[in-house]
Structure 1
Amino acid sequence: MKLRKQVTVCGGAIFCVAVFSLYLMLDRVQHDPARRQNGGNFPRSQISVLQNRIEQLEQLLEENHQIISHIKDSVMELTDTGAVSPSGHLPFRSANGSWVLPFDGRPTFLAVKPQDCQFAVGSNGQADVQMLDVYSLLKFDNPDGGVWKQGFDITYDPDEWDNEPLQVFVVPHSHNDPGWIKTFDKYFTDQTQHILNNMVVKLAEDSRRKFIWSEISFFSKWWETADIHKQEAVRKLILGGQLEIVTGGWVMTDEANVHYFAMIDQLIEGHQWLERNLGITPRSGWAVDPFGHSATMPYLLRRANLTSMLIQRVHYSIKKHFASTRSLEFMWRQAWDTGSGTDIFCHMMPFYSYDVPHTCGPDPKICCQFDFKRLPGGRINCPWKVPPKAVVEANVAERANLLLDQYRKKSKLYRSKVLLVPLGDDFRYDKALEWDQQYINYQKLFDYMNSHPEMHVQAQFGTLSDYFSAVYKANGVAQGSRPADYPVLSGDFFAYADREDHYWTGYFTSRPFYKSLDRVIESHLRGAEILYSLAVANARHAGMEGRYPVSDYALLVDARRSVALFQHHDAITGTAKENVVIDYGTKLLRSLIGLKRVIINAAHFLVMKNKEFYRFYQTEPFLETDDRRATQDSLPQRTLIELDPAGPRYLVLFNPIEQERLCVVTVLVNTIRVRVLTEDGQTLPVQLSAQWSSASQMSAEVFEATFMVRLPPLGLAVFHLYDSPDSPMTLRSDTLLRLSGRGATARAGDPLPVRSQQSDPQTFYISSQSLTLGFSGITGLLESIKRKDDPQEVKVQMQFMVYGTRPSKDKSGAYLFLPDGKAKPYNQKEPPVVRVVEGPLFSEVVAHYQHFQQTIRIHNVPGVDGFSIDITTMVDIRDQTNKELAMRVVTDIQSGDVFYTDLNGFQMQPRHHYLKLPLQANFYPMPSQAYIQDSNHRLTLHTAQSLGVSSLESGQLEVIMDRRLMQDDNRGLGQGLKDNKKTANRFRLLLERRSTGNKMMDSATTSFPSILSHITNAILNHEILALPVLPKRRGIPPLQTFAPLKSILPCDFHLLNLRSIQSQVTRQK
């Protein structure tokens, strides 16, 4: 009763305020003090002004009357039900044609406390070497450096080591790609299993022998088939320090295209396996093959308790600069760290490659002579035409001195008298003969060096941690601590070039279909982990663990490992052979199907009102999946919900993010007679639209039903869908086809009304309560954005461009981007068909071109979902030859030569467009977002898949959408990129006004997304899953909303995962 009174009073108060406001406005028109008192003799012009004002007021009165009647209805419903009902806030069309959604009384945004931003406002971290400064400083020229082509001549004084001998650690390794030229399984069968089998035997022959291994995906597969004796031998080798597991990830992850969710997950998968099976935790990181290095990786390794790390593929000009300043070893610190809590000791390898010719010293002609796999008679030789010689008593002195000269020269590039010399290459040590060739010959060299004190050297085999420990000891500091006068560095190492102007920036986009699929599966994996953990906890609490399919855990493990495998630096990068790509895709699809099953099973249990009615049948699922994929390379087909007049269909919606979500959801139905009810029987407004089979052809059997929902964080909500002939709440979209002369006629026979007109050059608009978008009448593409809270319209022009590749010599391929100059505008002879759809919940413009189709949609909802523009660009360039399609956004934002791209969805990195660098060098990875800004606005492009991005002119952002290349680029793949798919690239475009406060937070080295931007990215990357309940002969038991959180989490909080870990006890059972 008390609530009813309060609500009535509140409604009455709002009514009074509205009426009083109108009275004041009328009063102001009648008694304007600025008006000259002419005793009633009004000039005609003033009378017409007055008439206009009265008409405007009448319009205002009408709109206010509508609003007041809606408020009244809401008040009535509130008093009747005593609850906030979604149907009490129905959309209605105002006099100016735009749809209005009455405010529902709940705040959209939470207040941000000043201390929440202290992290960003604090002074920047102090670094001796800031990579942005290094890029500004270097000329990036390429003079001939002599034997070290990309470097310089190294000299030394022979008695430099008289007081402190040179300590040399030769570290044997074998780089095993989990898929590249062969599939993961083929590599394992042909090579990897033999490497590990030989390792067990050969390391045991001599306790001085050492070896390192990094890829747990391979190691775990080998372990499963290894007998108990081999397993014990491995444990003994690890315990004795002969074998070290480095990094310990499932793979040696790519660092450009991967999202930090997957980087962490593959690291956990590897580390969990090591802990369970070997009882060890890795200490040192080893990344010799990723094509450029991200600052996120050192942060994650440090958080995983590693103390040191090694990197290799860095631009040759940077390597040369670091070598000349002896900065190849440094403490790598996060740009935003004001202390030293994120520091990790990092070793950068100085030369061209991680193979033997480029690891003993500056002269590959000499180093190659110490790769004993290349002894005459073998299958590989030295390109420098001087073969290795087996070490015998007659030549050991000459061989040892020749090698020591290289060791000494290399050591001059570092600050300590401890030297690291890796000894290995791809899939090395697969034959017992090679183990003998390398270990026996090197041991003879070490024995000679160590027995001649006048050489002042102590040489031995070592692991990576042996080397790092010796460096710390030589500098008198604890493990992982900063040695005195070693530099602190912050920044990252993109883009990478290994020679000339060969920038590895093509792989930021290569095979975008799979980059997109990867992120879909990551989102499903996270959702499945969360629901499984919650369902198992609930089942245990209810004493029903025996009836819940706990065995779904095996599906989670399979998916974790498929996703982890795909983070490999030849998988997500798009740089493997076509049959290997199919193998990855097949594994990913199998996992996606499994994850959908986990989600369905968990959701089924959690929405049951009475858990006693819960029954699990393996062959008879309770829910359907939201969509299906026919093959690993096909786009998803959304599930059709077939409505029947006989009774309702139930729909379960899963919100995988940790924030309450007010948004629109679209499902496919088989009828235009749709009614949607909430769990408590409230009717929701529905926008009914056509499903289009082509640019201008709609389906007669399938329709889109869109409705607005409010979903609990990490929760499941239940809705009822009816085939109902009379539903005043179901409103049809207003559809207009803009055609260019052809077929601009009245259309008959369409199940939903469609108007068509001849296109004209005039700009046309769509709008919501938050945004108004302008579109070109000619191209049908976006021209401008105006936020309702901003007086300024901002030019945001969408353009499509095409890059070719160089006409001769080196051409673009899977790795390299080598364009034939600036991009040219995309042109097609026929003008596009443009479809404009408007309605109460969303409006969209779809432009159909030959090689792409772009959908730009805005949602008419209050809050986060209504502030950004939803963009889907369907790309199909399968009929092109050596072409790359780019989407360019041209604005009047004065961004100069600065733009910002994310590193792994984890942090933002400022970038500069350098004219001194070739065009391709100015592209960077964009795993989740990029933005440009000036003092008034920031424009952020959020992405649901990793792609290459740049800003080649002030006010521009440019994204490479897909690349089709007919040739190999000489980096070992031996293929071009000809297996393109029809790909849906998804984005959100967010325009924000900048306030004085957030300008302060940006510095030359750091920048941060807004809270709105963070949540926009989350809703793009974690879509709502719509799971229809399958019709049952026995009827559907009562279902209810599942809301796991007692209270709402702060909006600056993100739950990365809720990952169940199998206990040792369960595993042994």
Structure 2
Amino acid sequence: MPINFLKITLFSHCARPGMLNVHLVPHTHDDVGWLKTVDQYFYGARNDIQHAGVQYILDSVVDQLLKNPDRRFIYVETAFFYRWWKRQSGDMQDTVKQLVDEGRLEFVNGGWCMSDEATTHYSAVVDQMTIGLRFLNDTFGPCGRPRVAWHIDPFGHAREHASVFAQMGYDGFFFGRLDYQDRSRRKASREQEMVWRASESLVPPVADLFTGILPNGYNPPEGFCWDQLCDDPPIRDDPDLEDYNVEDVVSKFLTVAQEQAKVYKTNHIIMTMGSDFQYENANLWYKNLDKLIRYVNQKQVNGSNIHVLYSTPSCYLQELHRANLSCPYFPMRIDDFFPYADAAHDFWTGYFTSRPALKRYERISNSYLQVICNQMEVLGGPTSRNGSFGVGNSDTMKKAMAVAQHHDAVSGTEKQHVADDYARRLANGWTQCQVLVSNTLAALSGSSAPRVYCEHLNISVCPLTESSSKFSVNVYNPLARPVGWSVRLPVNGTAYAVTDSSGNATVVVRRDRGYAVNELLFQVRAPPMGYSTYSVSLLQKGPPPASPFPRAPKDIQNKVRAWRAFMTFDPETGLLSSLSNLETQQTVRLSQNFYWYNASDGNNKDSKQMSGAYIFRPNSSTTFIISKTAKIETVQNSVVQEVRQWFSPWVSQVVRLYADSRVLELEWTVGPVPIGDNMGKEVITRFDTSINSSGIFYTDSNGREVLQRRKDYRPTWTLTQTEPVAGNYYPINSRAYIKDEKDQLTVVTDRSQGGGSIQDGSLEIMLHRRLLHDDVRGVGEPLNEASDLYPEGLVVRGRLLLSLNPPAVAANTHRPLAQEVVLQPLITFTEGLLPPNTRPEFSGLQTALPPAVHLLTVSQWDPDLVLLRLEHQYEARDSKEHSQPVTVNLQVSPLPSTFILLTGMNLSANQWKHEMTRLDWKVDSGKGHSPGCELTLPFST
């Protein structure tokens, strides 16, 4: 039996059979950035914004734990604990290790942060959990391994997160925020504890996870907060004083405990004794909790049936499991907990899109981490970290990306200066990893030519390609299968020669936007987990190519052997009017345009709630069209057919269809969103089709499995819909689709966004938000992004990819496509052509992996070990062809090393797979309690 499991079992004997056991859990909730930056929170700086200093919390808690062996404390955010730990003396570290070994200080969750669940991609979540759990494992051994996931603050809960936690070996999951209607129903039916079946593809109980809803969010019961930030009176237990209040406090507590027990199944209930950044002076809390426990338990002499104890989530969970063996059957949950509302008109669905530029930067950085920091470090070996271009490391990027997963980071729900700090950290990570990748490519290619990184290609800026007459382009493919892309480079010449390693040429030079005069466009293909190099030479300067045709096209189409796309445009409006898959003989009517919702300023007749960083609250269900027509230009050549659309001075789009592509690309540009009319705006694009979707659409969960969504409906309870738009919005992390028996239209996004299907056959995605009011959820400033460089407001550019397929085979297209968008190629440049004896092509795999297998992680674990994660990327119902079990023959290139030993671990790599044990739970079959199972509530006092 693992050591920490034994510890939990022994400690749980503090509970008393036949009594109502009240588990007091002292805790603090320390946001890894929100109103202040990570650094400001740790050191306690800028207390004019918020009084909070994490280092003092940990100092004070450890000191108080040592004064009473009964006391307990839990800690969550490894990012903060890691900082604090590094600054402690050896003696203090030994003391903390003893507290952990004795179960008095317990780590829960254990990730680098408490991640957001709506806007994070599962690959980044797995990474941030791994970095935190590895530190705890290495530092404290088995006793430091968390057994409970603890997401007390995220604003809605994703099924994929529960699946990830189950596969990491967690026994249970507790959270605080729940839709107000769902909570009310669950309290009435005593279903606040459940078993979450978090995957429809994994065989139960692999992804089954006990899940509990905390009674007060993550705060203490009203009247029992004893932090220096609280106003509740302390326990005054001197009977000679006039304000002696022990009897009042005890009587109130017994009443609170009894009322809470009525809405839970067992004779064990939990109370979270703490809140945001509390316990900076832990003496206040513990002195009063000691008294509360003593005086409440003394009432047992007079017949009270309530027993109070210091506890932890693991201890509480262990007691629930004991009760489950003999009595309660917990209900099953198979959907998720989105969207979240805390009142009738207060839906937290705005943050699905808030800060779209930061969301895109985080998604690109995730790709950068996997490609540069992880794969390149493995392929380059020791040379990658210390080579001809200096010392590189992956730690900076890993930690920056881990912090970015926090539920007030990529979510977009932080103050502006904190958002800037998250972006700065990611930029520092890029800089460190660029040294690493330069070293690796030099070692693999045999060329020590300096590498150039053009990080602004999305706005057609790259100084090297704009000025150089000869340069080389290295394209690295992070996927485990060969993939092709279209490379678009800003140039000032009018004719170029582009050749690959075999001497083949493909190139088009044409007029484009941006600072450069022209654009160089060519197709590339790279081997699995490897690179290809292309040589570019200027042939002609001369005048620029002819301008695009200013006409409305009748259609654009490509001619791929296995698949052909065909689109028609309305000649009067310049808008898309239909989409066809000629291979499958499918055609749907498809119109697309841009609209905005008027954000509520709090003067709506039904509610004073305003739209803000968290909450999407349109003033009405009416959408305002930006333009009924689009000014257009067209470009058609052998590589791409393109329609450029201008809807207004602040909204434009390019519709592209590449010659060898299976999808339609829509590159949208929105901003600065005008606010001169004093109206905040929520900008969407909407696709209206002839598909009979019957009020149903589908979204992914954190980029992995897909869930069905139905308008004005929740699978678990009867919904009273109060917000017909915001109440039907869901997070779209990588893709969404609508379908009927014949047709499926899939939209793949390049970042996390919110969206819905408000009308049958319609799919809308929110692209940008600019708001003039705060939504009164703590941020204290409107979501109105501007800067010294962009005083008129933020301009955002992104891509949507559309595909039309029969539903039975659609996943064969959208699943690999979504992975290609998440893990994009790394493009680097060198001045001049390749020198002799340079290796122009390389692959880290001797053979590509099967189509169903995705290479999730290749990362250096220590100097002699590599962490390798493979995943089956298809769901059980996805594809007749690809959803079957797959056998993988892993042949790895001998450069730089060979895998000698493959050993299975759990998903977070902090436990050997064969040693992982989890609690089993009995689930309600729909027949109620088991025969002879009688609950003893309510309890007498």
Task: Give the TM-score normalised by structure 2.
Answer: 0.82
2:119 paired with 1:257: yes
Alignment correspondent of 1:472: 321
- 1:650 shift after superposition: 2.4
CA distance in 1: counterparts of 2:97 and 2:76, whole angstroms: 16
Q: Which amino acid aligns with 2:433?
A: L
Aligned residues: 810
Amino acid at match of 1:195: I
- State the shift of 1:628 in Å: 4.4
Deviation of the 1:484 alpha carbon: 5.1
Counterparts of 1:671-690 in structure 2, within 5 Å, are 671-680=493-502, 682-690=503-511
What is aligned with 2:728? 922
Query: Which letter does structure 1 place at the counterpart of 2:794?
Result: K
Alignment of 1:205-354 (within 5 A): 205-279=67-141, 280-336=144-200, 337-351=202-216, 353-354=217-218
Q: CA deviation at 1:407?
A: 0.8
Find 1:984's aligned residue among 792, 797, 809: 797
User: Compared with structure 1, are the counterparts of its residues 546 and 422 closer, same or farther at alpha carbon in structure 2 (3 Å cutoff)?
Assistant: closer
SS in structure 2 opposite 1:867? Answer: coil
- 8 Å Cα contact 2:23-2:270 kept in structure 1: yes
Bigger radius of gyration, 1 or 2?
1
Candidates 635, 655, 659, aligned match of 1:860: 659
Q: Give yes or no for contact 2:79–2:113 (8 Å, CA) kept in 1.
A: yes
| Equivalent in the alignment of 1:752 | 545
AA aligned opposite 1:924: Y
1:949 equivalenced with 2:755 (yes/no)? yes
Q: Is the 8 A contact 1:640 1:670 kept in 2?
A: no
* Deviation of the 1:801 alpha carbon: 1.1
List aligned pairs for 1:740-889, cutoff 5 A.
751-754=544-547, 756-757=549-550, 763-769=554-560, 770-806=564-600, 808=603, 809-828=608-627, 832-848=630-646, 849-861=648-660, 866-880=661-675, 881-889=679-687
Q: 1:391 to 1:921 in 2, by over 3 A?
A: farther
Q: Deviations over 1:648-707 (max 9, x none)?
A: 532211112111123432233332221112223x231211112324xxxxx6x5432222
| Residue of 835, 840, 853 corresponding to 1:1040 | 840
Call closer, same or farther: CA 1:551–1:446 in 2, change over 3 Å: farther
Distance 1:434 1:653, change over 3 A: same
1:821, distance to aligned residue in structure 2 (A): 1.2
* Matching of residue 442 in structure 1 with residue 308 in structure 2: no
Aligned twin of 2:306: 457
Identify the match of residue 329 of structure 2 among 459, 462, 485: 485
Task: Check the 8 A contact 1:649/1:1029 in 2, yes or no.
Answer: yes
The answer to whether the aligner puts 1:1052 opposite 2:852 as a matched pair is yes
Q: Secondary structure at the match of 2:858?
A: coil
Deviation at 1:846, TM superposition (A): 1.2
Name whichever structure is richer in helix by fraction: 1
The 1:422/1:652 distance shift into structure 2, 3 A limit, reads same
**What's the counterpart of residue 431 of structure 2?**
593
Distance 1:642 1:986 in 2: 24
Matched to 2:254, the amino acid is: L
SS at structure 2 position matched to 1:420 = strand
For structure 1, which runs of at least 5 residues remain unmatched after alignment?
1-160, 358-366, 478-482, 609-613, 616-620, 694-698, 727-748, 999-1008
Structure 1 pair 975–755 and aligned structure 2 pair: CA distance change class (3 A): closer
Which letter maps to 1:896? S
Answer whether contact 1:828 1:850 (CA < 8 A) is retained.
Answer: no
Q: Distance in 2 between matches of 1:466 and 1:403?
A: 21
Match of 2:751, SS state, is coil
Residues 1:1029 and 2:830 are matched in the alignment: yes
Unaligned runs of 5+ in 2: 1-14, 45-52, 714-719, 786-792, 867-941
**Do residues 511 (structure 1) and 355 (structure 2) align?**
yes
Distance change (3 Å), C-alpha of 1:788 and 1:291: same
Indicate yes or no: 2:441 matched with 1:641: no
- TM-aligned CA distance change 1:819 to 1:644, over 3 Å: closer
Is the Cα contact below 8 Å between 2:557 and 2:641 reproduced in 1?
Answer: yes
Match of 2:890 in 1: none
**Shift in CA distance, 927/581, structure 1 to aligned 2, threshold 3 Å:** same
Contact 1:171 1:423 in 2 (8 A): yes
CA contact (8 A) 1:505 1:924 kept: yes
The separation in 2 between residues aligned to 1:414 and 1:310, in whole angstroms, is 14
Match of 1:172 among 23, 26, 44: 26
- Aligned residues of 1:202 and 1:435 also touching (Cα < 8 A): no
Q: What is the CA-CA distance between 1:521 and the residue it aligns to?
A: 0.4
Aligned residue number for residue 254 of structure 2: 404
Per-residue CA deviations over 1:893-937 (Å, capped at 9, x if unaligned) read 010100001110011010001185222110000010000000111
Counterpart position of 1:691: 512
Distance 1:818 1:485, change over 3 A: same
Query: Are the equivalent residues in 2 in contact too, given 1:654–1:716 (CA < 8 A)?
Result: yes
Distance (Å, rounded) in 1 between the aligned partners of 2:838 and 2:60: 61
TM-score normalized by the length of structure 1: 0.72
User: Given residue 891 of structure 1, which amino acid in structure 2 is its aligned partner?
Assistant: T
Offset, 1:635:
5.9
Alpha-carbon separation, structure 2, partners of 1:928 and 1:708 = 24
Q: How does 1:369-380 map to 2 (within 5 A)?
A: 370-373=224-227, 380=230
Deviations 1:956-1005 (A, max 9, x none): 0001111111111111111111115211122211111235xx6xxxxxxx
2:806 to 984, 990, 993: 993
Matching residue's letter, 2:509: L
- Structure-1 separation of matches of 2:813 and 2:231: 58
Offset at 1:765? 3.8
Alpha-carbon distance change, 643 to 432 in structure 1, aligned in 2, over 3 angstroms: closer
Determine whether 1:935 maps to 2:741.
yes
| Partner-residue secondary structure (3-state), 1:925 | strand
Deviations 1:851-902 (A, max 9, x none): 22111111101xxxx1111121111134323111110000000101000011
Query: Following TM superposition, by how much is the alpha carbon of 1:400 offset from its aligned partner in structure 2, in angstroms?
Result: 1.8
**Aligned-pair RMSD on alpha carbons?**
2.7
Q: Which SS does the other structure have where 1:627 is aligned?
A: coil
**Deviation readout 1:585-624 (Å, 9 max, x if unpaired):** 111122223333333332222122xxxxx65xxxxx6221
Taking the aligned partners of 2:16 and 2:407, their CA distance within structure 1 comes to 43
- Aligned CA distance change for structure 1 residues 188 and 773 (closer, same or farther; 3 Å): same
Report deviation, 1:391.
3.9
Contact 1:294 1:903 (C-alpha < 8 Å) held by counterparts: yes
Mapped to 2, the partners of 1:202 and 1:635 lie a distance apart of 55
Flag the 1:638–1:1025 CA change in 2: closer, same or farther, 3 A.
farther
Q: 1:723 corresponds to which residue?
A: 538
Choose which of 452, 455, 462 in structure 2 pairs with 1:627: 455
CA change 1:792–1:294 in 2 (3 A) is closer
SS class of match (2:841): coil
- Deviation of the 1:398 alpha carbon: 4.0
Confirm or deny that 1:652 pairs with 2:474: yes
- What is the CA–CA distance in structure 2 between the aligned matches of 1:347 and 1:438, rounded to whole Å? 27
Residue 342 of structure 2: aligned partner: 498
- Label 1:203 to 1:388 Cα distance change in 2 as closer, same or farther (>3 A): closer
SS in 1 for 2:274: strand
Residue 194 of structure 1 is matched in structure 2 by 56
- Cα shift at 1:301: 1.1
Q: Tell me how far apart the structure 2 counterparts of residues 533 and 1047 of structure 1 sit (CA, whole Å).
A: 21
Aligned residue type for 2:422: Y
Aligned AA (2:640): F
Query: Displacement of 1:569 after TM fit?
Result: 0.7
Aligned residue for 1:390?
236
CA deviation after TM superposition for structure 1 residue 475, in Å: 3.7
Q: Which amino acid aligns with 2:522?
A: F
Quick one: distance in 2 between partners of 1:410 and 1:513?
43
